[in-house]
């Protein structure tokens, strides 16, 4: 998250310099620009950051994790259907990243209104030089609470699990999203206990229980499955 174009330009310089020293370095970019509330999207950073993300930052990223609104901003294309989302991810691939995960969307989940859809796409080059794309859908239970740091946790775990499963986005996303669910459920349980019966937990009580979730982060039980599209 930044509100300054010069900061973004420096990120690009640093990534390029590090990749010159280590071509295997993997850069994950979460292009934090805005989100949708009640179906309406709005930016919470200055608009002049968008062209810098689109033209300079995304092209040097290996993995990007935009939400639906951010994916729409980067491509100039609205998402109304899953087909639209897949085409938007192809447009994002064309900008540079081999892995694209739209972390949240307002698409209708096949499992029902209590579920949130994330979509992922991974392009890889096979031994014979041909390219193939793996696309997945993940439906995770909606959580009725506001947390701080979930995007950071998601990006960090996606980096870790794609490193362990470099050519299996399905497994990497299942482990990432399952671990997220374990952390969030543990956080809610703890927050409600602190707030007391009938009271709504405050932001301090909803601080993510990451240390307490160490085992779930390291080796999560898979409770959210991905569907290959």
Helices 82-95 and 68-75 cross at an angle (nearest 10°) of 60
The Cα–Cα gap between 222 and 229 comes to 19
* Placement of tokens 């310099």 in the chain: 17
DSSP state of 110: T
Using only C-alpha atoms, the chain has a radius of gyration, in whole angstroms, of 18
152 tagged catalytic: yes
In order of 25, 58, 62, 136, the CA distances from 8 in angstroms are 18, 11, 16, 30
Question: Which member of 13, 55, 114, 152 is catalytic?
Answer: 152
Distance CA 72, CA 156 (A): 23
Cα distances (angstroms) measured from residue 138 to each of 32, 116, 117, 227: 21, 8, 6, 6
Name the DSSP class of 223: -
What number of other Cβ atoms are within 10 A of residue 115's Cβ?
A: 15
- Active site residue ranges: 152
């Amino acid at each position: 998250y930044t509100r300054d174009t010069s900061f973004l330009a420096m990120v690009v310089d640093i990534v390029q310099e590090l990749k010159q020293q280590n071509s295997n370095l993997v850069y994950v970019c979460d292009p934090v620009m805005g989100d949708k509330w009640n179906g309406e999207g709005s930016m919470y950073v200055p608009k002049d950051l968008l062209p810098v993300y689109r033209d300079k930052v995304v092209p040097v990223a290996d993995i990007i994790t935009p939400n639906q609104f951010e994916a729409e901003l980067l491509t100039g294309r609205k998402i109304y259907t899953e087909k639209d989302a897949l085409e938007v991810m192809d447009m994002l691939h064309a900008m540079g990243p081999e892995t694209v995960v739209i972390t949240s969307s307002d698409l209708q989940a096949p499992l029902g209104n209590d579920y949130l859809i994330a979509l992922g796409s991974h392009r890889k080059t096979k031994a014979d030089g041909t390219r193939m794309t793996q696309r997945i859908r993940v439906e995770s239970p909606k959580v009725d609470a506001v947390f701080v740091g979930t995007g950071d946790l998601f990006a960090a775990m996606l980096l870790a699990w794609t490193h362990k499963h470099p050519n299996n986005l399905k497994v990497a996303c299942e482990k990432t999203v399952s671990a997220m669910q374990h952390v969030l459920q543990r956080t809610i349980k703890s927050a409600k206990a602190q707030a007391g019966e009938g009271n709504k937990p405050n932001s301090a009580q909803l601080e993510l229980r990451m240390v307490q979730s160490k085992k779930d982060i390291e080796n999560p039980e898979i409770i959210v499955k991905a569907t290959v599209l």
